[in-house]
Structure 1
Amino acid sequence: MRILVTGGAGFIGSHLVDAFLDRGDEVTVVDIASEERSVRLNAGAALHRVSVTDAEALTAVVRAARPEVICHLAAQIDVRISVTDPAADAMTNVIGTINVLTAAQEVSARVLFASTGGALYGLDAKIPSPEELLPVPEAPYGTAKYCAEQYIGLFNRLHGGAHSALRLGNVYGPRQDPTGEAGVVSIFCGRALEGERPTVYGDGAQTRDYVYVGDVVAAFLAAADAARPGIWNIGTGRETSVLDLVEVIGRISGAPVEPVFAPARPGELPRSALDVARASRDLNWQAATSMTDGVARVHAWIRDGANPRAPR
């Protein structure tokens, strides 16, 4: 197939580009990547440094590439930034998605949208949370992702499309910046390897559904091949607390990790896990990587130099 990946030089996107190229697909990437980030990108993909908020430039790339599938991963991903600047968050995550959908319509491409499961379902959601639950997000980030999903459904109804949304859990794996502000697994592994104490916000009892990047890539491939509309949770279905994660990293490191505690941050949920039965049924997909194995791969990746072209 001809594939276009927005955010294809990012952490998840670069792994996804590799997977499509490995199976023989033709891949075009739209990303405003810096030189530092672009080194993640496979040389076999054509990179266009275009923002999804630039409708005219995005449409020109889509017209030229004529993709059959657009995997839309370009996003503002920091919950805290969304709280302090919700308009900028909405510009990327809502308007950017509308621009992608509009461009896709011109070439009859299907859009697979990387939504969020971890920030969508709300404080009182059933755990694990099924897709049927009414989302009640606690931060602008989750609100914008849900709004983008509504536009996906609208474009399907208005134009007979087959666009889909994958609601991702907390994705982790090699190529996730261990010095950044997002990606707790990479950050904590990096701190442990430096002999530093990681910072835990709140009491550490808060839970997330941590899903390995290779499993997320497999879900996107399955959804691309399914050629049908849908909304699917992509996670493990299991809760892991921050303190559980600290304990796993300590075992892998061979020495206990002693965190520093700080006040909880606004807009973050106390519990989250995703019901993945629908993805198993519709896509024949389920996560295959255990938390211990996945964290061990991240730990080894950072220990060995954090190669930006690390395999899945």
Structure 2
Amino acid sequence: MILVTGGLGMIGAHTARALLDLGQEVVVTSHRRTAVPSFLTGEVAVEQLDVTDRGAFLALRERYDVSDIVHLAGSIPGDDPVAYFRTDTTGLFNALDAARAWGVRRFAVASSLGVYIGRGESPWHEGLSLPSAELPHLIVAFKKAVEPLTTHGLQGSGVQPVVLRIGSTWGPLMDPESPFNYIPPYISAVLRGEKPAPLYADDGGDSCYAPDAGRAIALLLTADTLSHTTYNVSSGRPMRNRELADALQLPCKPGGQPNPHLDITRLTTDTGFTPQYDVPQAVAHYVAWRADNPR
């Protein structure tokens, strides 16, 4: 059985769905969120768990024979950065303790494409050295710290660490007014009958539809062997705003330039992953989902 912490969040839920599709049994944890998405209802075990509670985390083993862990649980920073770092570091350490104590095969943890900030080239690949750079958000700073904490924390344990440098992901279950990705708010405005301001046609960058991100992570957890510790998780191609606007039959403004995107050669080579959704397919799927779901 595979444990997915934060498994009712956007990426966690789609990872759980993909693991089920690969024939795995799955238990997901959630702290505050209680609503189980329709595509998981009745198919996963759900545990209400605060991952900062070490005793409760380790007690999961009394109920489940966990073979692998995907640690995606995290919080949103408030006014106190130290409190945020303390909360999410405690959750990470408890997950690492569990991985070591239970002797799981693999421990995958969420990092971010933000670790590459400061590199001017594109696409970004895992062989690049990570620069010292001013980071735009506390979450990115924490994700960058997660990588050595995880790899060093598992040394000598026999547990294989898998660092997931997750790209810009959007889709079902994301906050439709998310400040972290402009696509759901843009589509939400269209669904309300509004006409959002035209986007610059050639702006854009890394973008991955959530079901594809979940499937990539699931393939990394279930692959017979992995040749690396760190993997980019995304679509492997830059999205341009004209693709989004065309899918919604909206006009664009000329100009713009895409941001860097993630190279997924390593992911594809080791798992066979290729994205199932292009931009028009993702938009159509998301619009259909939102017809029956608030987020």
TM bracket (short chain): 0.7 to 0.9
Q: Which runs of 5+ in 1 are unaligned?
A: 259-269
Query: Relative to 1, partners in 2 of residues 1:284 and 1:92: Cα closer, same or farther, differing over 3 Å?
Result: farther
**What amino acid is aligned across from residue 152 of structure 1 in structure 2?**
T
Moved more, 211-220 or 99-108: 211-220
Q: 1:85 to 1:195 in 2, by over 3 A?
A: farther
In the TM superposition, residue 307 of structure 1 has moved relative to its aligned partner by 6.8
Distance in 1 between residues matched to 2:268 and 2:84, nearest whole Å: 31
| Residue in structure 2 matched with residue 221 of structure 1 by the alignment | 218
Of 146, 149, 165, 1:148 maps to 146
Q: Give, as a single letter, the amino acid of the residue that structure 1 aligns with 2:217.
A: F
Contact 2:121 / 2:260 at 8 angstroms: preserved in 1? no
Is 2:197 the counterpart of 1:210?
no
CA distance in 2, matches of 1:9, 1:200: 33
Q: Give, in whole Å, the separation in 1 of the partners of 2:186 and 2:80.
A: 27
Q: Counterpart of 2:85 in structure 1: which amino acid?
A: A
For the 8 Å contact 1:169–1:211, the answer to whether it is kept is yes
CA deviation after TM superposition for structure 1 residue 51, in Å: 1.6
Per-residue displacement from partner, 1:267-308 (whole Å, max 9, x unpaired)? Answer: xxx833111111122222232321222122212322x23277
Match of 2:160 among 145, 148, 162: 162
- Report how far residue 100 of structure 1 moved: 0.4
The Cα shift of 1:116 comes to 1.0
Question: 1:98 aligned to 2:93?
Answer: yes
Please name the residue that 1:264 is paired with: none
Structure 1 contact 186–299 (Cα < 8 Å) conserved: no
Q: Percentage identity across aligned positions?
A: 27
Once the 2 structures are TM-superposed, how far is the Cα of residue 52 of structure 1 from its aligned partner?
A: 1.6
Q: CA RMSD in A?
A: 2.8
Q: Which runs of 5+ in 2 are unaligned?
A: none
Matches of 2:248 and 2:146, distance apart in 1: 40
2:107 corresponding residue in structure 1: 111
Q: 2:282 aligns with which of 288, 294, 299?
A: 294
What's the CA shift for 1:44?
Answer: 2.3
One-letter amino acid of the structure 2 residue matched with residue 216 of structure 1: A
Distance 1:206 1:97 in 2: 35
Structure with the largest fraction of helix: 1
CA shift at 1:39, angstroms? 4.3
Question: What's the TM-score once normalised by structure 2's chain length?
Answer: 0.84
Aligned length: 284
1:283 counterpart (260, 264, 271)? 271
Moved more, 207-216 or 96-105: 207-216
The 1:257/1:178 distance shift into structure 2, 3 A limit, reads farther
Tell me, in whole angstroms, the C-alpha distance in 1 between the residues paired with 2:165 and 2:264.
10
| 1:306 paired to 2:277 | no
Q: Residue 295 of structure 1 aligns to which amino acid in structure 2?
A: V
Per-residue deviation at 1:72? 1.1
Conserved in 2, the CA contact under 8 Å of 1:176 and 1:183?
no
Report the alpha carbon displacement of residue 150 of structure 1 after superposing the two structures with TM: 0.8
Instruction: Give the Cα separation in 2 of the matches to 1:141 and 1:134.
Output: 20
From 173, 176, 179, the equivalent of 2:174 is 176
